Amino acid sequence: MKAMEKAFASLGDVPDRSILQMLALRVSADFMPKVSDGRISVEQIQDSAERILSLAGYAEAAKAYILYRKQREHVRALEDSSSRYASLTKSYLERPESTGSQEMDAVYSLGGLMLSNSGEVTRHYWLGSIFDEQSARAHNEGWLHIHDLEMLAPGSAGWDIRGLIQKGLHVRGQISSRPPRHLNALCAQLVNFITIMQNEWSGAQSISHFDTCLAPFVKKDGLRPEQVKSAMETLVYGLNTPSRWGTQPAFSNVVFDLCVPREWKDAEADPDSGIRYGDCEPEMQMIREAFFSVLADGDTEGRGFPFPIPVIRIDGACPEEREIFEAAARYGNPVFARNSPPMEGFFSWEGGRCSLGAVTLNLPRIAWSSRDEESFFRKLEETARLAARILETRRQVIRRFFDSGLYPCTKGYLESLDSGYCAIGVIGMNEACQNACFIHQDLRSGRGQAFAVKVLQFLRDITDSLDRFVLMATPAEGVSQRLAELDLQTCQGIRTAGTAEAPYYTNSTQLAVDATDDLFEAVRIQERLQQFFSGGCFFSIPYTSKLGSRELALLEKRLQEKSFLPVFAFSPTWSVCPRHGFSSGRQESCPVCRTEAEVWIRVSGYYRPLSQVNKAKKQEYQDRKVYMI
């Protein structure tokens, strides 16, 4: 009644109190049938008030009531937002152990707090103002996961640094750097370039043809090995400095060619000296030896460098540098990747190519909710088409932001985002097989693998039919936990990996982490499945035995020659004592002084301290079988 009285008062004509009471009684009579279990929403009461005012002949008062209602909704929204963000800040400050463990490696810090708060605002903007209600509901309910909602930015990108070499570091309206003339200057500019770009992109920044592009600087100046190593130290230490939003290091990759690309051999690398790229293969080897020597050394406390992730192209050539396998045996740094067929994504993009967004489909949920295989594929297509619509919306929004100048640094090196792809990925193929009533076996079984092949071919046909869409093995650092937790809350009897307290879904189409300790059985299965992806594939090889650089070199050669895995890496666990440095394996305390040690593990492609990963990834690590090699 008070709200209706205020509506009349705004018109300057408040009726007698008996009339207001009569109207209030009619409103009560109108909404009473809608009461359920003694409850009714404020919105339903307000709907009745609007209707009764109109029916009683108070049309102007009804309009005033609608306006008053909108104002109150706005006030309530502001109050809810204020309360939500105050709660978010308080939660972050009071629970440091729960922060920085979703998609990237933000740490508990003021920068992490700022990222947490701004990310929440941006997430609500995407879901409330950009995407339609069906899309937002599908994400919130867990049918799919929209990646990188915390930023109004495109995903990951690859850069051909010949542009940086030719024009220097240049952003319109900002202090600019001349084109680098020496290796040290180029490495310093690369650190700045990657850091700047990382603040305009949500995902990894990849530098292609790293050794090919840097080698002419070594040749031109006749640099000695120690001088080359000094330049690599500048690069590696600079890229591991927390300089990105959220007090994080830049998520970066550098791609090594091993051999000069055929189309580059006769191309002029330095107009002044006439040096061609094809003249510089010995210097390329010097770059690799120096770079991996820095990685194998670790930092001053014996800690390995998470970034940049070195990606070694192994088509047609085997890496021979001892330093590569010393870094692999000690810290697991290098990633070995084929380029035939072209495999791009979260660990490597060619220069000028990029991802504008990614959506991951919740396969276990779709399988659990399907009564038969026909029903499964119908729901899968509906969810995939919805993901495509979400990504097309994101593509248009990101392009509009690019054209309006929201990414000034990117615009200085990319003319447009027309080369950008949208990625659809999957999670939990193993659990989907277990939850499908028509399979009820895991991915290690023949039936499970046949079903997975059918699913991937179905999705690949969809992405191939769309404009600039790809099927990718999307990463799942936080998604695996989020979707599994949602499903346990809403899907009675659904099977997840992990425990009730720490559930998770297996990444992409990987086998369950405890499925087998036979490396080559796992390789054979993944070869069959990963061929359907356009990129993003990653096969991690955790192992128990202490393999040296020589043994890893032989194993890498065997995998290169005998398998068709697109991307793989060796993944030792290692530990660090602040006083006594590096120890191989998981050491809860230092073997020398018994001080608590820092344990590092590979999480979805890159290394992080075990203490900083989310509870699902901790549980996954506990469940993991290592390969007997």
Task: Give the separation between CA 181 and CA 216, rounded to whole angstroms.
Answer: 10
Which residues, other chains included, contact 348 with Cβ-Cβ below 8 Å and sequence gap of 6+?
158, 206, 208, 253, 255, 311, 337, 535
Question: Phi and psi of 603, rounded to 5°?
Answer: -120, 110
* Poorest-pLDDT segment among 197-206, 241-250, 270-279, 477-486: 241-250
pLDDT tens per residue across span 63-112: 777 777 666 666 666 556 666 667 777 777 776 555 444 544 566 777 77
Q: With 70 as the cut, is the pLDDT of residue 404 above it?
A: yes
Report yes or no: 599 and 609 within 8 Å, Cβ to Cβ: yes
Decide: 291 and 214 in contact? Cβ < 8 Å.
no
Cis peptide before 225 (omega within 30 of 0): no
Residue 514 has pLDDT above 50, yes or no: yes
- Strands 205-208, 567-570: pairing kind: unpaired
- The answer to whether 367 touches 125, Cβ cutoff 8 Å, is no
Q: What is the mean pLDDT of the chain?
A: 89
Read off the pLDDT of each residue in 506-510 and give the average, rounded to a whole number: 96
User: Could you tell me which residues come within 8 angstroms of residue 161 by beta carbon, excluding any fewer than 6 positions away?
Assistant: 190, 193, 207, 208, 209, 210, 213, 351
pLDDT value at position 23? Answer: 83
* Residue 364 or residue 171, greater confidence: 364
For residue 100, what pLDDT is reported?
42
Residue with tokens 């193929």: 429
Please give the average per-residue pLDDT across 39-45, as a whole number: 75
CA angle 23, 25, 29 (to 5 degrees): 115
pLDDT at 22: 84
Three-class SS state of 48: helix
Most confident option among 146-155, 164-173, 342-351: 146-155
Q: What's the token pair of residue 170?
A: 């240049």
- Of the CA atoms within 13 Å of residue 342, those in its CB half-sphere come to 7
| Domain map (residue ranges) of the chain | 2-72, 157-337, 354-537, 573-624
Residue type at position 249: P
State the Cα–Cα distance between residues 233 and 288, nearest whole angstrom: 12
Share of the chain above pLDDT 90, in %: 67
- In whole angstroms, what is the distance from residue 554 CA to residue 319 CA? 11
CA atoms within 13 A on the CB side of 97: 4
Closest CA to 144 of 436, 451, 372, 459: 459
Tally of CB atoms within 10 A around 462: 18
pTM of the model: 0.85
Rounded mean pLDDT, 496-510: 97
pLDDT of residue 378: 98
The pLDDT, as a whole number, for residue 189 is 96
What is the pLDDT, as a whole number, of residue 395? 96
Does the structure show a pLDDT above 60 at 342? no
Largest CA-CA distance found in the chain, in angstroms, rounded = 99
pLDDT of residue 440: 96
The pLDDT score that the predictor gives to residue 75 is: 62
- For position 511, what pLDDT does the model report? 98
